[in-house]
Structure 1
């Protein structure tokens, strides 16, 4: 169906794709694998008409294809779901979908079709709801449904399950399986190698912009796929021993309730938890069940009703803002890296200034010490293997995984006593995920308390000492990770009581 022959794309001195060959057949799910910065996104942007190759050709159904822009790609039957969202936040779901349609339709008709398609694919959406009111997981659903409404013959999916629960991901896989039986093709980018093995029967692997291997992922293990991607063995994170030997309580939350910050949102209802020094506590849950409100309350982006609702190292901080909590040794990594954790058009050094101006002495007497900021960029780059071109690029110039490594590394290298991190390995490759998870475990081993909010159950089971589940703004009691299973956590995520889950 689609063939790329020796596609090459340069950005100055950087060769992002070097004579890449790729063939995707009708009815096939084809994985495109590689570590962060390997050239995957550049390749698919050329296939979708967003970038033009410097050399090479694209063939569609055996004939040369000109792809000057995405509209031309869609006209052929190529659809794409991007890793980073491209949505207008002030507009509704239906309005965003209507804007993407090449043949205009009346908005009521769009809303009707959208509701039907979203129900059929198990990705429920409210057509009239504004994008800014949606969780990250719900925004991902909008992107997927918007693509499917274009009736594509080839669907390019860039990390589509990174913010979906296992149940939602299985629903998506079922949809993709049905589409393949209709003769459609899927080009699938993911760092979740087990789901690649479950979904795909072919894989092309990039490293450094070149094709280094092609295989049937069903005949490989996740470890062998990771080895082909990074060129070396990728081991599991070495988990710290012992929640039972954890230190004193570092963070406690007492009966914290917060109203939703918008009419369709989810607030917090009587949330309580304790987190000790040296411990990693995981918070699981389906997207949109109050994770945003919990993170905002812990970080100081939302103020608690009373100071003593949140206690940090013995101090009542519920009424303090984020800078005051940072001065007490707390660090925070929000879910959305581009826009929340980092300003896209600011350089990495400027983003370091935004995050650390209150605590790191970057601007004594009001004068910014640029050399110190660049030193932070260099240290994070070295410690977390952040792949980038210039020394201090804009945040938006980094691939998603490399920006995630920078954001997490920026906070961890501060040596905080408390780290609250949301979706720590969203969209990063196996090697980078291991680096981030190991850094979290090492931080806890050094005496910090770490709270991890994640929809990746494998991640939570790998690195946490205890895990709790948030559902409709209520937090379950935390269970020792070694005594629970994916099935029990999944039932709690679906609203079962602890007795029913057991």
Structure 2
């Protein structure tokens, strides 16, 4: 295949860290090329240089045989490079066509644009109604908006960052069909994902980064997921260890829980009921935007329910706020790690105090016990291998995976009886994900009851005792996780409630 993009010796350094060092590789026309690496390996910096968001310190790029040095994303798009980011940049209060127009240099009249959106979306199997409000779309449909916005630019290189993290198994297959069609037409795709089996299924070639440097390349179809992970981390990845243990007595019971969200684009929780036993992990799957945030808020006490009951060992706790629930060992870790789980500009000691003050006794007489707080933060950093110079560093300074380890570690080390976590391994690498999952399994083996809300189905099936699906604010009856197939889970996540009931 003919080379589309050549990267030669790209280097980018920030104060105290070299993000990329002498990175070189090529991408061919029509190739689906995976970019793999741990959190902090330099993937984000590299694609930002390709897309014109970051200027390299040295090195060069050649696109279509011409020197390529974009000074901003507009220049990259003009050269035929488009990017779908992991976090969507859409306005809920605007419709699909209006959102797409905002990303165009010279958008045509709305009528013409709507016709183009319909034509392109149907051509690539991603049907979209240009008049629908984005706030009413599912996460999978929102991603379609981002992809169609890129396809309208007729890109020769499409960069995709964690594109399947919010999709059902069926939506993943639709996306892959679209990407294969684009590839067959000559569009190159640079694909970033931590889901290694997806990489093996989709990608023609992979370049592996470690600590900012290229450490290898391979054909992922001829390489096992374990081998890919080992190349990324430079060591053998240990499988999770779980003890065979029968769950104990029921410790948490939720009956007909109803919640009206404060956010006008939030999801109403509708008559949610389930039980949770000590030592058990209940996995809850679902496409983003189906009530995950609202469920965590209801269970943590951040939002008080409209009706229904939450009982802990037969004692009602639905009226209690977050601090009161922490006192009785009901802890939580939300999905948004930077801004919700952690304050970006506070250091790690201060962030440890935010949720650990009560159970770790970090206050006395209304004053903070700073030595104890620093010791708690240091214990989190050491126990969970958080890569940071020290507890004096801000949360913002950590990579996503390291901040996630800190957030989960902060809750696990407080010895909860009930722990509710949303997206515990969101966007983290294989090594960090394995460490987080192992900490949850160890906590359950010690008798804690855990609810894991996640869009990573492989993760849920790996660590859960029972599985339930959340769809449009309704929870399917939990079922034993062992033996569940992806097709069946996909139907549950898509709202086939009658099917789940028939199996209970």
SS in 1 for 2:271: strand
> For residues 179-211 of structure 1, what are the alpha-carbon distances to aligned partners after superposition, in whole Å with 9 as ceiling and x for unaligned?
111111011111110000111111111111111
Query: Across the two proteins, how many residue pairs are aligned to each other?
Result: 499
In 2: Cα distance, 1:32 partner to 1:90 partner: 34
- What is the TM-score when the length of structure 2 is the normalising length? 0.91
In 2: Cα distance, 1:374 partner to 1:129 partner: 50
Cα 1:247–1:122 change in 2 (3 A) is farther
> For residues 376-405 of structure 1, what are the alpha-carbon distances to aligned partners after superposition, in whole Å with 9 as ceiling and x for unaligned?
333222222223456543333333222222
Cα 1:395–1:143 change in 2 (3 A) is farther
- What is the TM-score when the length of structure 1 is the normalising length? 0.91
**1:425, distance to aligned residue in structure 2 (A):** 1.4
2:216 to 201, 213, 217: 213
* Structure 1 stretch displaced more, 315-324 or 261-270: 261-270
- Aligned counterpart, 1:417: 417
Is the counterpart of residue 270 in structure 1 residue 289 in structure 2? no
**1:129, distance to aligned residue in structure 2 (A):** 6.4
- Aligned counterpart, 1:399: 399
In 2: Cα distance, 1:455 partner to 1:73 partner: 32
Give the unaligned 5+ runs of structure 2: none
Preserved contact between residue 133 and residue 265 of structure 1 (Cα < 8 Å): no
- Aligned counterpart, 1:99: 102
Preserved contact between residue 284 and residue 469 of structure 1 (Cα < 8 Å): yes
- Aligned counterpart, 1:443: 443
1:136-175 equivalences in 2 (<5 Å): 139-175=142-178
1:72 to 75, 78, 83: 75
**1:262, distance to aligned residue in structure 2 (A):** 5.3
SS in 1 for 2:29: coil
In 2: Cα distance, 1:170 partner to 1:46 partner: 30
In 2: Cα distance, 1:141 partner to 1:123 partner: 6
**1:283, distance to aligned residue in structure 2 (A):** 1.1
Is the counterpart of residue 28 in structure 1 residue 31 in structure 2? yes
In 2: Cα distance, 1:153 partner to 1:22 partner: 17
Compute the RMSD of aligned alpha carbons.
2.6
Cα 1:381–1:204 change in 2 (3 A) is same
In 2: Cα distance, 1:282 partner to 1:377 partner: 28
- Aligned counterpart, 2:198: 195
**1:56, distance to aligned residue in structure 2 (A):** 0.7
> For residues 18-63 of structure 1, what are the alpha-carbon distances to aligned partners after superposition, in whole Å with 9 as ceiling and x for unaligned?
1010211100001111111111111111111111111111111222
In 2: Cα distance, 1:251 partner to 1:392 partner: 37
Preserved contact between residue 38 and residue 207 of structure 1 (Cα < 8 Å): yes
SS in 1 for 2:236: coil
Preserved contact between residue 259 and residue 266 of structure 1 (Cα < 8 Å): yes
SS in 2 for 1:482: coil
In 2: Cα distance, 1:141 partner to 1:331 partner: 35
- Aligned counterpart, 2:340: 340
In 2: Cα distance, 1:152 partner to 1:116 partner: 17
Preserved contact between residue 206 and residue 212 of structure 1 (Cα < 8 Å): yes
**1:120, distance to aligned residue in structure 2 (A):** 5.3
**1:156, distance to aligned residue in structure 2 (A):** 1.0
SS in 1 for 2:160: strand
In 1: Cα distance, 2:100 partner to 2:348 partner: 33
**1:75, distance to aligned residue in structure 2 (A):** 1.0
In 2: Cα distance, 1:501 partner to 1:342 partner: 40
Give the unaligned 5+ runs of structure 1: none
Preserved contact between residue 163 and residue 426 of structure 1 (Cα < 8 Å): no
SS in 2 for 1:309: strand
1:460-471 equivalences in 2 (<5 Å): 460-471=460-471
In 2: Cα distance, 1:335 partner to 1:128 partner: 30
SS in 1 for 2:60: strand
- Aligned counterpart, 2:500: 498
- Aligned counterpart, 1:226: 229
**1:124, distance to aligned residue in structure 2 (A):** 6.1
Preserved contact between residue 115 and residue 126 of structure 1 (Cα < 8 Å): yes
- Aligned counterpart, 2:294: 293
> For residues 424-477 of structure 1, what are the alpha-carbon distances to aligned partners after superposition, in whole Å with 9 as ceiling and x for unaligned?
112111111111111100000111000111222211111011111223322222
In 1: Cα distance, 2:422 partner to 2:63 partner: 41
